[in-house]
Amino acid sequence: MVGLAKEAGIELRQSYARLAPRLAIQVGRYAHARQFKRMRRALRQFKGYAGRIRRDLRRHLQDIPQGPLRERVLDALWLVGRLLEQGPKSKDKLFSLHEPEVDCISKGKARVRYEFGTRVSLATTLDGGFMVGARSFPGNPYDGHTPAPALEQVAILTDTRPSLAVVDRAMAWAPPRS
């Protein structure tokens, strides 16, 4: 937001250019040291900085002329507002400002319990390893529901329906298609 304000020629009351990066590093250190009360306090302070910049930018919004820059500023304000107002149990959480469509994917593994991204299905030929299909699935669909659309895409792109599909164990639980 600070960069967009500078690009729009808006003078902010305070940019927190030195305080925010230092505080972000401190949050990471507190988390690593398992000092979660201090980490939460620093995060609250960080959210306060973001809220102040957001309010300051909203006050100067009428100074930005109509156009693509104003749209980018409005998008950034909306995303930061969404980030500041979400709670621990909120639906449709925002996990990343630079890629808002990212979802939390629970893996069920001991070491990496959660991953953040978008579920993707890749289709290759069995012998040659050529990519014949790639498809992303928004949200967090069940693994067993992804092979059918992927095979449909392969059939559309190659004009032939695959006679054999090799999938990983998660997709093997899907009911067989007739």
Strand, coil or helix: what is 121?
strand
Total domains present in the chain: 2
In a domain, 112, yes or no: no
Q: What is the pLDDT along the chain (178 residues), one digit of tens a residue?
A: 899 999 989 999 999 999 999 999 999 999 999 999 999 999 999 999 999 999 999 999 998 899 999 999 999 999 999 999 999 898 888 988 888 888 888 777 778 888 888 888 888 888 877 888 888 888 878 877 888 888 889 899 988 888 888 877 766 655 555 5
**Closest alpha carbon to 153 in 122, 178, 176, 117:** 122
What residue numbers bound the domain in which 153 lies? 117-173
Residue 127 within a domain: yes
Query: 13 and 79 in one domain?
Result: yes
The angle, 0 to 180 degrees and rounded to 10, between the axes of the packed helices 19-32 and 36-59 is 150
12 and 80, same domain (yes or no):
yes
102 is a domain residue: no
What are all long-range contacts of 125-134, with beta carbons under 8 Å and residues at least 24 apart?
A: 126/164, 126/166, 132/157, 132/158, 133/157
Residue 8 lies in a domain: yes
Q: Based on the fold, state whether residues 26 and 79 are members of the same structural domain.
A: yes
| Residue 104 lies inside a defined structural domain of this protein | no
What's the predicted TM-score (pTM) here?
0.72
In a domain, 69, yes or no: yes
Pair (127, 63) in one structural domain: no
Q: Which amino acid is at 47?
A: K
**Do 79 and 20 belong together in one domain?**
yes
Alpha carbons 60 and 119: distance in angstroms, whole number:
39
**DSSP secondary structure letter of residue 175:** P
Domain-located, residue 169: yes
